[in-house]
Amino acid sequence: MILTVTLNPAYDVTYRVERLIPGEVHRVSSVEERHGGKGVNVSRVLTQLGIPTCVMGFADASFANTVGLPHDLVPALPHVRRTVVIHADTATSFWEPGPVAAAGSAHALLDRLTARLPSATGVVISGSLPGGIDSDLPARIARVAVDAGLPVVCDLDGDALRCAADVSGVVLMPNSDEFGRLGRSVEDLIAGGVRAVVATAGPEGMTVTTVEGAWSANVPEPLTGNATGAGDAAAAAVITGLAAGVSWPSLLVDAVATAAAAVVRPVAGEIDLDFRDRLLPTVVVR
Amino acid sequence: MILTVTLNPAYDVTYRVERLIPGEVHRVSSVEERHGGKGVNVSRVLTQLGIPTCVMGFADASFANTVGLPHDLVPALPHVRRTVVIHADTATSFWEPGPVAAAGSAHALLDRLTARLPSATGVVISGSLPGGIDSDLPARIARVAVDAGLPVVCDLDGDALRCAADVSGVVLMPNSDEFGRLGRSVEDLIAGGVRAVVATAGPEGMTVTTVEGAWSANVPEPLTGNATGAGDAAAAAVITGLAAGVSWPSLLVDAVATAAAAVVRPVAGEIDLDFRDRLLPTVVVR
């Protein structure tokens, strides 16, 4: 059982319009709405891979009741924010601000998580924080899970990433922007006790650096598609490999193929399993 | 008791962003969401004016439970659409398509309306239709209400307006675009049995044509503000005047002042009561 933690989930809404013209009224031709948030997407990919998972973190009752995945969410939020993406010739996004979590939410989440650790095989902590939550909460969750002997993957940003980088034994998976904002070298992080840094080099490649060495892997050909959600798919593969005790090189091959299988699907949280299977033997690792 | 009929309600969502740049991610600085639909806005204005009202029409259970107005809505819709307005230097709108109403919804609504007519003093039928509903439903509702001796105001478009224009005794309040699409002259409509055509000439003025004559009224000075909802405020004033048996000239003064009092408020369905009171004696009618 892999636990994923999403502290600031979202409803991801996609509108299709012919052209986006500022100042005009647009009749939307199609509307898609799904339960999102990076951890939720990780759990979706895990489910597709046949790995038992539980969505944890914060939400409201309505989100929890309709997420369609095994979940144990603290009803900490007055509402769940939306992200609206207008698809025309380009994608234009509008991100609602996150709501403010109720007092005591962090404590309630740590309690629920602690109760689930004995039956867990790994933890993924992803995404942003709602208002009212200290930025060290992901680090505190990570420490509790690492102390319980579990592999922990963190895909965080800003102060939350900064705090998590000080937790010995965590695997960090920031994207290149997030890593740039952290302002620390991979070597420094590993020397400080981070178990591994998994860095994406576009949708086609990935690098992992550990105390034992560094490996890179990439798909043989460029991909076209939707890179949103590729990082979440990679995180699903990484935690699955870590939970199973797979070596870094073969884990990396899996992560690259799984991320690529997300790129070829139009929506975040979905992977093309056949494409992944075909791609796996072609991934080059060095 | 004024009954308002909204067949295709909406959640009106307003996002504020600094600038709208197609292709970019925008962090929304503020989100407002309100229950909308033209009839709902009419009922809001009536409530502000102290006139008892009931919101009728179609919705889902969640919309009805949270609309915050007296209501008797048929739970005919699988969900209520959203209209998203992005406020930057200009307003850019995205209108979700309406859902499809359940079979038998029109019949259920006519039953509920008929039951409420004996205690009603007027009916307003406004706005668009969801899928699955024949465009003559507003006309059928209008006919039932007129036959019960009630004043009926219709603010409709397209085929629904075309059908309603054939109902003897109705008051039509299309805006100029809607009136243009109808392709019939005011004189023709009045000759055909329409009780009155109330036409807006921008936010500052209004004209009413009846079989007894025509009157125009306007505010003494230009207004700046949000014209969305001005028509709904005018409809609230018109039905109130008709229900009270007020003469057309004084009814028109009231409608112009009430519409102007909506323009100076930032959101549809609200009027500035003080501004309306100050404006009333200044409206010029001829």
Please name the residues in contact with A236: beta carbons below 8 A apart, sequence gap of 6 or more: A2, A42, A43, A45, A46, A49, A51, A124, A258
Q: What CATH number should be reported for the domain holding residue A40? A: 3.40.1190.20
DSSP state of B149: T
* DSSP codes of every residue in A140-181: HHHHHHHHTT--EEEE--HHHHHHHTTSTTPEE---HHHHHH
Structural tokens at position A92: 């234009």
Cα torsion B240, B244, B249, B252 to 10°: value is: 0
Q: How confident is the model at residue B277 (pLDDT cuts 50, 70, 90)?
A: very high
Calculate the average pLDDT of chain B: 93
Helix (H, G, I), strand (E, B) or coil at B162: helix
Q: Specify the pairing of strand A171-172 against strand B53-58.
A: unpaired
CA atoms of B188 and B165, how far apart (whole Å): 10
Whether the predicted pLDDT of B1 surpasses 70 = yes
Beta carbons of A94 and B23 less than 8 Å apart = no
- B203: confidence class by pLDDT, cuts 50, 70, 90: low
Q: List the single residue in A with minimal CA-CA distance to B21.
A: A92
pLDDT tens digits, residue range B254-274? Answer: 999 999 999 888 777 889 999
Structure tokens given for B279: 């404006």
In degrees rounded to 5, what are phi and psi of residue A263? -60, -35
Are A28 and B94 a contacting pair at CB < 8 A? yes
pLDDT at B180: 87
Residues of chain B found within 8 Å of residue A22, distances taken between Cβ atoms: 20, 22, 88, 90, 92
Report yes or no: B97 at the A interface, CB cutoff 8 Å.
yes
Which residue(s) pair with B174 in the sheet?
Answer: none
Q: Would you call A95 an interface residue with chain B, using a CB distance cutoff of 8 Å? A: yes
Non-local (6+) Cβ contacts of A65 within 8 A are none
Instruction: Provide the β-strand partners of residue A92.
Output: A86
Instruction: Count Cβ–Cβ pairs < 8 Å, chain A vs chain B.
Output: 68
- For chain B, report the end-to-end CA distance as a whole number of angstroms: 31
Q: How far, in Å, CA of A202 to CA of A223, rounded? A: 10
Pick A23's closest partner by Cβ from B15, B17, B92: B92
- The rounded distance, in Å, linking the Cα atoms of A5 and A160 is 13
User: Which is nearest to A265 in space by CA: A29, A4, A8, A44?
Assistant: A44
Q: Which residues of B37-89 form beta strands (DSSP E)?
A: 53-58, 71-74, 81-87
Q: Which two tokens stand for residue A123?
A: 């933890």
d(CA B21, CA B229): 27
CB contact under 8 Å between B95 and A31, yes or no, is no
Selection from A201, A148, A185 nearest residue A170 by Cα: A148
Probe site for chain A from B94, B95, B128, B175 (most A CB atoms < 10 A): B94
A85 Cα distance to chain centroid: 19
Distance, in Å, from the CA atom of A127 to the CA atom of A137, rounded to the nearest integer, reads 12
Among residues A92, A74, A94, A90, the alpha carbon closest in space to that of A82 is found at A94
For testing contact with chain A, the best of B32, B63, B65, B96 (most A CBs within 10 A): B96
Q: Are strands B53-58 and A152-155 parallel, antiparallel or unpaired?
A: unpaired
Say whether A15 and B92 touch across the interface (CB within 8 A): no
Say how far apart CA A140 and CA A193 lie, in whole Å.
16
CA distances from B13 to A84, A113, A254, A275, B34 (A): 11, 35, 42, 39, 7
pLDDT, residue B245, reads 96
CA distance B16 to B32: 9
Total count of domains within chain B: 1
pLDDT in tens, B229-246: 889 999 999 999 999 999
**Is any Cβ of chain A less than 8 angstroms from the Cβ of B244?**
no
- Cα A49 from Cα A244, distance rounded (Å): 14
User: Are A15 and B93 inside 8 Å of each other by CB?
Assistant: no
Closest CA to A120 of A3, A258, A204: A3
In this complex, do B23 and A92 lie within 8 Å of one another by their Cβ atoms?
A: yes
Contact B177/A at CB under 8 A: no
Among A23, A25, A95, the residue with its CB nearest the CB of B27 is A95
User: Both tokens of residue B10?
Assistant: 């909406």
Taking contacts as CB-CB distances below 8 angstroms, the residues of chain A near B63 are none
pLDDT at residue B151, rounded to an integer: 98
Nearest to A97 among B23, B28, B86 (CB): B28
Q: Name which of A94, A100, A128, A157 to mutate to probe chain B: the one with the most chain B Cβ atoms within 10 A of its Cβ.
A: A94
Main-chain dihedrals φ then ψ at residue A206, nearest 5 degrees? -150, 145
Contact, B6 vs B55, CB < 8 A? yes
Count of residues making up chain B: 286
Q: Check if the beta carbon of residue B263 is closer than 8 Å to that of residue B227.
A: yes
**B-chain residues near A25 (CB < 8 A):** 93, 95
Q: What is the pLDDT along chain A (286 residues), one digit of tens a residue?
A: 999 999 999 999 999 999 999 999 999 999 999 999 999 999 999 999 999 999 999 999 999 999 999 999 999 999 999 999 999 988 899 999 889 999 999 999 999 999 999 999 999 999 999 999 999 999 999 999 999 999 999 999 999 999 999 999 999 998 888 888 999 999 999 999 999 999 987 667 899 999 999 999 988 888 877 777 889 999 999 999 999 999 999 999 999 999 999 988 877 788 999 999 999 999 988 8
Antiparallel, parallel or unpaired: β B122-126 and B91-95: unpaired
What are the distances in angstroms from CA B66 to CA A27, B50, B60, B128?
26, 21, 10, 21
Q: Which of B6, B247, B249, B269 is nearest to B125 (CA)?
A: B6
Task: Residue A133: give the domain boundaries.
Answer: 2-285
Any idea which residue has 């969401």 for tokens? B33
Per the structure block, which two tokens stand in for B93? Answer: 């709108």
Q: DSSP secondary-structure letter at B97?
A: P
Question: Are A204 and A234 a contacting pair, CB within 8 Å?
Answer: no
Q: Residue B16 pLDDT more than 90?
A: yes
Please give the C-alpha separations between residue B272 and each of A115, B40, B170, B283, in angstroms, as whole numbers.
55, 17, 29, 16
User: Minimal CA–CA distance to A268: which of A59, A9, A71, A37?
Assistant: A37
In this complex, do B26 and A95 lie within 8 Å of one another by their Cβ atoms?
yes
What do you get for the CA distance between the two ends of chain A, in Å? 31
Query: Residue A203: what pLDDT?
Result: 60
User: What is the per-residue pLDDT for A180?
Assistant: 87
Task: Specify the pLDDT at position A228.
Answer: 78
B31 vs A contacts (CB less than 8 Å): 96-97
Residue B89 CA, chain-centre distance (Å), reads 27
pLDDT value at residue A223:
82
Specify the amino acid at residue A277. Answer: D
- Which element (helix H / strand E) includes B93? strand B91-95
Q: Which of A219, A221, A213, A177 is nearest to A197 (CA)?
A: A213
Alpha carbon distance A178, A17 (integer Å): 31
Tell me which residue has tokens 């055909």: B192
pLDDT in tens, B72-110: 999 999 999 999 999 998 889 999 988 999 999 999 999
User: Is A275 in the B-facing interface, judged by CB distances under 8 Å?
Assistant: no
Q: With a cut of 70, say whether residue B191 has pLDDT above it.
A: yes
